[in-house]
Structure 1
Amino acid sequence: MHSISWLSLSWCLIPVLLISAIYYYWNGKPSEVLLSSARMALQLVAVGYVLVVLFAEPSPWITGLVLSVMICAASWIAIRPVRQHPGFLRPAFTALLLAVGFHLAIALKLVLGVETWYEPSVMIPLAGMFFSNSMNAISLAAERYRSELVEGKQEKAARLAAFHAAMIPQVNSLLAVGLVALPGMMTGQILSGVSPLIAVRYQIMIMTMALGVSGMGAALMLWQLGRIEIHTRIANSAKNQR
């Protein structure tokens, strides 16, 4: 496997500066890209050092703590498009907890057959991928759901439109994998010397779990938002009749 030095890694600034320049010339906010990229690099370096320690001394408590931080961060990021409106954080947290927990159980016990659930070298990478996919689906679903309601759509129609929008990236990924691009996990395994046929099996697991965790997360989020919307309308109707 090829090793990347820190000096060689500095060439990765080129795409960051390129996109920042586009933002600047189109009167956008290049600071958004620059700050996000800097935060990404710092977060990954910090996580790298944390994982070195975790892998050396696995602990259910530390793994549990890491998962807790991940779900809290994912919940907060997921509601970013609708953060100015109340009532989205708890549904996002619940949807992530149930969707990711369910699919982690399938992947760890049924597919991989791991004996120790808190093994950080397995649990944390999988949880990260699952949280990321579900987080994005929930974010898209919440934003689209609210937009549809604001436009005057009925709750069921808004829910369906939001679910379709949330699933577009996942369906596109399923259609494109192997034809348009090799996914990140598969590419990483091949670069590290793993047989492509073994890498394919892992990638199939990741793609199907990502589909499930995204769809389940979005559905749970929309179901909760639907109940809130219905209860709000009933309460407002009763209030107006007084």
Structure 2
Amino acid sequence: MHSISWLSLSWCLIPVLLISTVYFYWNGKPTEVLLSAARMALQLVAVGYVLVMLFEQPSPWITGLVLTVMISAASWIAIRPVRHQPGFLRPAFIALLVAVGFHLVIALKLVLGVETWYEPSVMIPLAGMFYANSMNAISLAAERYYSGLKEGKDENAARMAAFHAAMIPQVNSLLAVGLVALPGMMTGQILSGVSPLIAVRYQIMIMTMALGASGLGAALMLWQLGRNKISVSIKQAVGR
């Protein structure tokens, strides 16, 4: 596998500066892209050092702590479009906990047959991918549900429209894989020398588990919002 030096990595500034320039000339906020990219780099470097430590000394407590940080951050990011509206954070946390936890059990125990659940080299990458996909689905579901209610839709119509919107990226990924692009995990394994046929099996597992976690997470989020009568407070806020 090709090694990337820190000096060579500096060329990755080009796409960041390119998009920042577009923001600047179109009267946007280039600082948003620059700060996000800087934060991404710092977070990944920090995580890299943490993972090195975890891989050397696996611990169920440390792995559990990492997972807690991940789900807390994912819950907070998921409700970003509706953060001004109270009542979304707890449903997002519960939806992520149940949806991702359920699919991690399937992936780790039934598909991979992992004996030690807290093995960080397996648990953390899988949890990260599942959380990221579910987080995006929940975020889209929450935003579409909120917007639908504001537009005057009834709760059932708003919920169905929100669920459809949340699943669009997942369904598009299933349709495009292999034809439009090779997904990240499969590409990484091939670059590291793994047989493409083995990489394919891993990718099928990832994509089906991500689909299930995202769909279940979005459904649980919307079910909780309806059960908690969030729709009533939203309609009262807009005067409907």
Deviations 1:104-135 (A, max 9, x none): 00000000000000000000000000000000
CA contact (8 A) 2:134 2:218 kept: yes
Write the distance in 2 (CA, Å) between the matches of 1:213 and 1:156: 22
CA contact (8 A) 2:59 2:118 kept: yes
Which structure 1 residue ranges, 5 or more long, are not aligned?
Answer: 237-242
Q: Which residue of 1 aligns with 2:34?
A: 34
Q: Secondary structure of the equivalent of 2:229?
A: helix
Q: Which residue of 2 aligns with 1:181?
A: 181
Q: TM-score normalized by structure 1?
A: 0.95
In structure 2, what residue type is equivalent to 1:82? V
CA contact (8 A) 2:186 2:200 kept: yes
Q: Secondary structure of the equivalent of 2:228?
A: helix
Write the distance in 2 (CA, Å) between the matches of 1:194 and 1:228: 48
Q: Which residue of 2 aligns with 1:3?
A: 3
Q: Which residue of 1 aligns with 2:43?
A: 43
Q: Which residue of 1 aligns with 2:93?
A: 93
Write the distance in 1 (CA, Å) between the matches of 2:92 and 2:6: 37
In structure 2, what residue type is equivalent to 1:94? I
Write the distance in 1 (CA, Å) between the matches of 2:3 and 2:69: 30
In structure 1, what residue type is equivalent to 2:132? S
1:218 has 2:208 as partner = no
1:230–1:53: structure 2 CA closer, same or farther, 3 Å change rule? Answer: closer
Q: Which residue of 1 aligns with 2:72?
A: 72
Q: Which residue of 1 aligns with 2:143?
A: 143
Q: How far off is 1:228 after superposition?
A: 1.9
Q: Secondary structure of the equivalent of 2:204?
A: helix
Q: Which residue of 2 aligns with 1:159?
A: 159
Q: Which residue of 2 aligns with 1:114?
A: 114
Percent identity, please. Answer: 87
1:217–1:150: structure 2 CA closer, same or farther, 3 Å change rule? Answer: same
Q: Secondary structure of the equivalent of 1:62?
A: helix
Q: Which residue of 2 aligns with 1:192?
A: 192
The RMSD of aligned alpha carbons is 1.1
CA contact (8 A) 2:149 2:231 kept: no
